[in-house]
Amino acid sequence: MATTINADTTNGLVLTPDTSGDINLQSAGVTKASITSAGFTVGGSNISPQPTFRNRIINGNMAIDQRNAGAAVTAHASYPVDRWYISNSANGTFSAQQVSDTPVGFSSSLKITITAAQTANTGNLSPVQVIEGNNLADLAWGTADAKTVTISFWVRSSLTGTFGGALRNSAANRSYPFSYTISVANTWEYKTITIAGDTSGTWLTTNGIGISVRFSLYAVASSLQAAGAWYNGSATGATGQTQLASTNGATFYITGVQLEVGEQASDFENLQYGQQLALCQRYYETGSAKLGAYTHLGANFPIGMLTGTGFKVTKRTTPDVSITTTSSSNIYTNSGNTANINVSSFSQVGLVTTQNNFGSIVISWTGGAEL
């Protein structure tokens, strides 16, 4: 129940009070907006009082894929889309990639397919995002003032049942297993999970690991704990969850992942593509540079030095820089002399020619600073 304020077409303004603490604003007896302890809603959609960038998940709509351009990955710790890696210590195999199968309002999702079923009670398989501690200080986790958060997402699977996941701190000694139900196979469903903030443990608010968020597709029994309560240890999933990786050919799709402060989920925060790309580039970036024109110096002669190549976005920490390709009038190899790397730039990239004559050289590079 709620106190109602109704603009009635016969009697004018009609006030019907109660003691619930909630208010419904009505037009001709139909509720158009509500005010509750969880916030303000209009037409059933929550109007969040929180500012832009309320979503602590980066690339929750799976739109950015700098590494693969939609191609599949199959290795442990590989990134099928930016900021999401696949943790796989199970003995089965998988394929993961960005796809265009989505619920209304999204253009991309992350699809995981089991290509060889798990056959032993060992290991874990999960898509994971690690949130930087710098983006979580206001949660005050680990204190008496810890704030409640809500996770929301769209999910689809070829299997039905109870699925699991977990939040975990950097030391992996505080975890919150959660569960949700997929009711209909091969159908997009929207899920929300509200989690009371942790008043114990250590939660980093630096550029280190703040919170790891994982959706479990398989977890060894010792990694499963009861959903809905904080656990003093490491958990990667929830007791009784569906072990999707045990079914060859099973599929799991996810998109629209949001983690925000509050007891109620708001609509997914759709940032502009360029904004989201820049957020991703704090952790991984690709680029290219031209070294210029050269003439004959002799085969296998060291050439070229790239000085002061700036990153588009300041990195979380000093990144790993690698030269992936070179192009010119002839063929070159990277000598590996990358130095003077910092969060803003790198320099001294040495190249070696395998030919006697050559022209301009364009190098491609990546800089990674993932958690």
The CB density around residue 173, as the number of other CB atoms within 10 Å, is 14
Q: Which residues of the chain have pLDDT under 50?
A: 293-297, 299, 301, 303, 329-336
For 145, residues 6+ apart whose C-beta sits below 8 A from its C-beta are none
Residue 346: per-residue pLDDT: 80
Residue 47: per-residue pLDDT: 57
Domain ranges in the chain?
A: 3-47, 85-279, 282-368
Residue 331: per-residue pLDDT: 41
User: 85-279 maps to which CATH number?
Assistant: 2.60.120.260
In the CATH hierarchy, which top-level class contains the domain 282-368? mainly beta
Cβ-based burial of 156 (10 A; exposed 0-12, middle 13-18, buried ≥19): buried
Q: Which amino acid is at 59?
A: N
Give 174-210 pLDDT, tens digit per residue: 999 999 999 999 999 999 999 999 999 999 999 999 9
Query: Could you tell me the pTM of the whole model?
Result: 0.85
- Distance CA(77)–CA(74), nearest Å, equals 9
The two counts, helices (H) then strands (E), for the chain are 1, 27
Residue 341: per-residue pLDDT: 86
For 95, residues 6+ apart whose C-beta sits below 8 A from its C-beta are 72, 73, 74, 112, 113, 115
Structure token digits, residue 244: 């999707």
- Distance CA(244)–CA(161), nearest Å, equals 10
Domain 85-279 identical in fold to domain 282-368: no
Q: What is the CA radius of gyration of the chain?
A: 25
Residue 329: per-residue pLDDT: 44
- Asked if residues 237 and 219 have their Cβ atoms less than 8 Å apart, the reply is yes
If you write DSSP's letter for every residue of 97-157 in order, what string do you get? EEES---TT-S-EEEEEEEE---SS--EEEEEEEEEGGG-GGG-TTSTTPPPEEEEEEEEE
Residue 33: per-residue pLDDT: 86
Closest CA to 285 of 79, 48, 104, 54: 79
Give 11-21 pLDDT, tens digit per residue: 889 889 998 88
Task: Output the CA torsion sign for 79, 83, 84, 90.
Answer: positive
